[in-house]
Amino acid sequence: MRPIQAQISIDAMAHNLRVARALAADARVFAVVKANAYGHGLSRARRAFAAADGFAVLTLEEAANLRQMGVDQPILLLEGLFGADEIAACVELDLWPVLHHAAHLDWLAQQPPARPLQVFLKFDTGMHRLGLPLAEQAALVARTRSLPGVAGVTLMTHFAQADEAVGVDWQLQPFLRELAGYGLPWSSANSAALLRFPETRGDWVRPGLMLYGASPFPEVSAAELGLRPAMTLQSEIIAVQALQAGEGVGYGQLFRAERAMRVGVVACGYADGYPRHALTGTPVLVDGRIGRTLGRVSMDMLCVDLGDFPEAGLGTPVTLWGEGLPVDAVAAAAGTTSYELLCALAARVPVAERD
């Protein structure tokens, strides 16, 4: 069998939820499990996050799967309704849609649900992606509250720079100022905001990334935040090459040996979800010690420098990220984020659970 495997720790995920829960204080916690729980599997996420107050997903299909698995906590649809035809499913599955567009209010008015729904009314405070204009809040809140199909309203926004030095104040202050008067519950915090800005907690927090043991901040490691990596991507060396000085390795021969050296070929490539943009020098663990990749990542293989690993050979374990090597470090070397690497774990990689 091809030796690549992703090991996923339910314990680590449950631990990370406890970290989020402690930071949330009195706020309730939605475990954000979109994108197949950031690559970790929806069913694993349900078990690991059984203690969450709710789950947040993108699609009806994910929500229906969670209900089928026995989830009885609230389920938030983060992008709301993709059509008026989804209102009936919200009733049937008891889902809470985000309303981020005036059309959603029209749909609810024209096709009132058989039972009134809890809704999250999302305002745009500067992200300029999804959300209703904050300037029109008075009319929008009044209209939403007057709809017979609406049982309760929670106000919501999303931060564009909670992970950066500029922070959240430029969005949070207008949000609170404009909406405080209604006395409605509210929700704003993603992982970065929850970790760094306690004033964003409100009534519901929405951590995603941190639950999987990665850091939203370039300059702070997940370990420093008290988080444990949930996914470890592992493989083995399946061939060893002896290069002479001047010889190159892989497509484009991007890496050339300056002197005679040994190169290990690892069974992991971009078709497994490893980033093709990872250049020579991206960190890997060879037999538990830090090493580096060489040359261009190909579809099914990548190469590692065995210069410091004279004992390494066929079958030597290689960790691509996870336990002992933060996914954030690999993401940084590849010019991307841990979000992208975790979500991109390919379906062909076998997954095993571990403690």
Ligand X SMILES: *Cc1c(COP(=O)(O)O)cnc(C)c1O
Distance CA 62, CA 70 (A): 13
Catalytic residue among 34, 122, 212, 274: 34
Residue whose CB is less far from ligand X, 156 or 237: 156
Residue whose CB is less far from ligand X, 9 or 190: 190
Does residue 191 interact with ligand X by CB under 6 A? yes
Does residue 207 interact with ligand X by CB under 6 A? yes
Window of 107-115, 187-195, 217-225, 228-236 that interacts with ligand X by CB under 6 A? 187-195
Window of 14-22, 107-115, 166-174, 207-215 that interacts with ligand X by CB under 6 A? 207-215
Told to judge if 122 belongs to the known catalytic residues of this protein, a careful annotator would answer no
Residue whose CB is less far from ligand X, 39 or 216: 216
Residue whose CB is less far from ligand X, 227 or 238: 227
Does residue 21 interact with ligand X by CB under 6 A? no
Q: Furthest-apart CA pair in the chain: how many Å?
A: 77
User: How many residues comprise the chain?
Assistant: 355
Both tokens of 306, joined, read 């065995």
Please say whether the beta carbons of 8 and 33 come within 8 A: no
**One-letter-per-residue 3-state SS of the chain:** CCCCEEEEEHHHHHHHHHHHHHHHCCCEEEEECHHHHHCCCHHHHHHHCCCCCEEEECCHHHHHHHHHCCCCCCEEECCCCCCHHHHHHHHHHCEEEEECCHHHHHHHHHCCCCCCEEEEEEEECCCCCCCEEHHHHHHHHHHHHHCCCEEEEEEECCCCCCCCCCCCHHHHHHHHHHHHHHCCCEECCCHHHHHHCHHHCCCEECCCHHHHCCCCCCCCCCCCCCCCCCEEEEEEEEEEEEECCCCEECHHHCEECCCCEEEEEECCCHHHCCCCCCCCCCEEEECCEEEEEECCCCCCCEEEECCCCCCCCCCCEEEEEECCECHHHHHHHCCCCHHHHHHCCCCCCCEEEEC
Taking the complex as a whole, the smallest distance from the CB of residue 17 to ligand X amounts, in Å, to 12
CA atoms within 13 A on the CB side of 24: 26
Distance CA 72, CA 259 (A): 62
Catalytic residue among 122, 182, 251, 339: 251
Residue whose CB is less far from ligand X, 137 or 190: 190
Does residue 158 interact with ligand X by CB under 6 A? yes
Window of 9-17, 208-216, 261-269, 329-337 that interacts with ligand X by CB under 6 A? 208-216
Does residue 190 interact with ligand X by CB under 6 A? yes
Taking the complex as a whole, the smallest distance from the CB of residue 339 to ligand X amounts, in Å, to 7
Using CB positions, name the residue nearest to ligand X.
208
Taking the complex as a whole, the smallest distance from the CB of residue 92 to ligand X amounts, in Å, to 23
Residue whose CB is less far from ligand X, 75 or 192: 192
Taking the complex as a whole, the smallest distance from the CB of residue 205 to ligand X amounts, in Å, to 9
Taking the complex as a whole, the smallest distance from the CB of residue 109 to ligand X amounts, in Å, to 24
Taking the complex as a whole, the smallest distance from the CB of residue 302 to ligand X amounts, in Å, to 27
Q: Which of 40, 201, 206, 296 binds ligand X (CB under 6 A)?
A: 206
Distance CA 26, CA 274 (A): 39
As beta bridge partners, residue 263 has 241, 305
Query: Which residues between 209 and 238 bind ligand X (CB under 6 A)?
Result: 209, 216
Q: Which of 6, 8, 19, 32 binds ligand X (CB under 6 A)?
A: 32
Does residue 131 interact with ligand X by CB under 6 A? no
Q: Which of 6, 23, 57, 78 binds ligand X (CB under 6 A)?
A: 78
Taking the complex as a whole, the smallest distance from the CB of residue 113 to ligand X amounts, in Å, to 22
* Binding residue count for ligand X, defined by CB under 6 A: 12
Does residue 196 interact with ligand X by CB under 6 A? no
Site residues, ligand X (CB under 6 A): 32, 34, 78, 158, 190-192, 206-209, 216
User: Which residues form the catalytic set?
Assistant: 34, 251
